[in-house]
């Protein structure tokens, strides 16, 4: 004797459940979840590393600009030592008066 179920399952639901319970589809879904979230080369990790690379490249450009500005200032100091000493450290010659205007 065959036991009768209380609930009738429509043929469409039966086909959908067979497709979802297919072992190959299940294995493929598990594989994609593993690749996307748990693998060392996961998409989330790659996206995070890409953002870090962008930030570091921006910082590198900033530091290159600052290095160039500092190099120009250094050349100016080397060529005009007296001017730099007078402007930055308010040095003066004996008997000379210095007026500071701000």
pLDDT of residue 7: 57
| pTM of model > 0.85 | no
Task: Tokens for 82, please give them.
Answer: 């007296």
Sign of CA dihedral 84, 90, 95, 97: positive
Q: How many domains does the chain have?
A: 1
Which range marks the domain in which residue 41 is found? 11-89
Task: Tokens for 98, please give them.
Answer: 């210095």
Confirm whether 2 is domain-assigned.
no
> Residue length, the chain?
102
Sign of CA dihedral 29, 30, 33, 34: negative
pLDDT tens-place string over residues 7-44 = 565 666 666 667 667 788 888 889 988 888 888 888 88
pLDDT of residue 90: 79
pLDDT tens-place string over residues 56-101 = 999 999 999 999 999 999 998 899 888 888 888 877 888 888 777 7
Confirm whether 60 is domain-assigned.
yes
The runs of H, that is alpha helices, within 11-92 are: 11-20, 23-33, 43-79, 81-89
Confirm whether 100 is domain-assigned.
no
Distance CA 72, CA 64 (A): 12
């Amino acid at each position: 004797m065959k036991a009768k179920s209380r609930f009738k399952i429509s043929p469409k639901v039966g086909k959908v459940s067979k497709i979802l319970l297919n072992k190959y589809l299940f294995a493929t879904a598990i594989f994609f979840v593993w690749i996307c979230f748990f693998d060392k080369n996961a998409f989330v990790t790659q996206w995070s590393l890409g953002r870090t690379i962008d930030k570091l490249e921006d910082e590198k450009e900033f530091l290159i600009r600052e290095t160039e500005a500092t190099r120009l200032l250094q050349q100016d100091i080397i060529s005009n030592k007296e001017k730099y000493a007078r402007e930055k450290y308010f040095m003066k010659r004996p008997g000379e008066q210095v007026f500071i205007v701000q």
